[in-house]
Amino acid sequence: MVRKSGCLGNDMCPKGKFYLGNGNILLVGEAAGFLNAFGEGISCALSTGLFAAEAISKGIKSRDNALALYTELTKQERRQTKASWRLGAKIAGRDLMPI
């Protein structure tokens, strides 16, 4: 039996290209571009999931745009994600996601 396996990755995290959602859809964790450079992603998924829930709840109560609220709530998480990738690249001594 021949078996192949693989992993699909993207360059959202190291390039700081976050896609938080569109309209009534909010993305969290790695789907939105949050992943620690050292491969740990569950903390990002949990924190951004909490931010998404908070944005939805506040949006319903205030009739504000949940995506705009979520964008504001994730500002620090986005900074930390970018910083982890800069640190990872510095430690590795190279670009972590070469083309």
Question: Does 97 reside within a domain?
Answer: no
Question: Does 66 reside within a domain?
Answer: yes
Using one digit for the tens of pLDDT, what is the confidence trace for 81-93?
988 888 888 887 8
Q: What confidence score (pLDDT) does residue 29 get? A: 93
Question: Does 99 reside within a domain?
Answer: no
Using CB atoms within 10 Å of the CB of residue 16, give its burial: 0 to 12 exposed, 13 to 18 middle, 19+ buried.
middle
Question: Does 38 reside within a domain?
Answer: yes
Q: What confidence score (pLDDT) does residue 2 get? A: 80
Question: Does 76 reside within a domain?
Answer: yes
Number of domains in the chain: 1
Q: What confidence score (pLDDT) does residue 10 get? A: 67
For the chain, percent of residues with pLDDT exceeding 70: 89
Using CB atoms within 10 Å of the CB of residue 8, give its burial: 0 to 12 exposed, 13 to 18 middle, 19+ buried.
exposed
Expressed as residue numbers, the domain containing 44 is 12-18+28-92
Q: Is the pLDDT of residue 97 over 80?
A: no
Question: Does 1 reside within a domain?
Answer: no
Average pLDDT over residues 29-47: 89
pTM higher than the cut 0.95 = no
Whether the Cβ atoms of residue 37 and residue 13 lie closer than 8 Å to each other: yes
**Mean pLDDT over each residue of the chain, to the nearest integer:** 87
Q: Cα dihedral angle (84, 85, 87, 93), rounded to 10 degrees?
A: 160
Q: What confidence score (pLDDT) does residue 96 get? A: 63
Question: Does 5 reside within a domain?
Answer: no
